[in-house]
Amino acid sequence: MTEQIIHSLLLAFHNIALAGCAAAPFYNVALVAKRGQYGPKLYYELDKVVEDTLQGNVPYCIGFMTTLWLTGIGLPLSHHLFTGTLRSLGTVATVALATKLIAIVAMMGIMFVIFFRLNPKLRELFATFSPGAPPDAERAKQFFATRARRRALCETCLKVAVVILVASAFLGFEA
């Protein structure tokens, strides 16, 4: 009974983290698409809200990813703690697990590029803009090019999140 409770709690937190890992890129892509309706022209207040929102999500994404890893490791370890063995997986579940792990590593790579390369560059460029003043054309061009790169990576991250969600559904297969 204790094993089932621990397993259920770990799985609940794992699923919440999994949903968060999928929801973040979904809503980020939706926000960026809405902003894209205004074209590559700087609207300081609007762009500040977009940047603050997107870059403010970083701690949540890192928290979800950390929870996903910890609970993902905790699930088989808790079974091992109670039974002395790791749960055996069928072929379908093994392929699903491998797919899920590869996708999670890919998502972490994408997140690394966005969080530690593109976001700092966007912060630096945006700091040169001010409300009511026309932006430097070259900096604005760099800003929107960097944003386009982040958008493409975020869209890829969303696709990877869907792969993770689908692979998770096959982890219970016995065959």
Q: Is residue 74 part of a domain?
A: yes
- At residue 81, the pLDDT reads 86
For the record, the structure tokens of 169 come out as 């559904």
- At residue 154, the pLDDT reads 93
Model pTM greater than 0.85?
Answer: yes
10-residue mean pLDDT profile of the chain (175 residues): values are: 91 93 90 93 95 94 93 89 86 93 95 96 96 93 96 94 93 78
Write a three-state SS string for the chain: CHHHHHHHHHHHHHHHHHHHHHHHHHHHHHHHHHHHCCCCCCCHHHHHHHHHHHHHCHHHHHHHHHHHHHHHHHHHHHHHHHHCCCCCCCHHHHHHHHHHHHHHHHHHHHHHHHHHHHHHHHHHHHCCCCCCCCCCHHHHHHHHHHHHHHHHHHHHHHHHHHHHHHHHHCCCCCC
Q: Is residue 174 part of a domain?
A: no
- At residue 172, the pLDDT reads 82
Number of domains in the chain: 1
**Domain membership of residue 144 as a residue range:** 2-169
Cα separation of 67 and 64, whole Å? 5
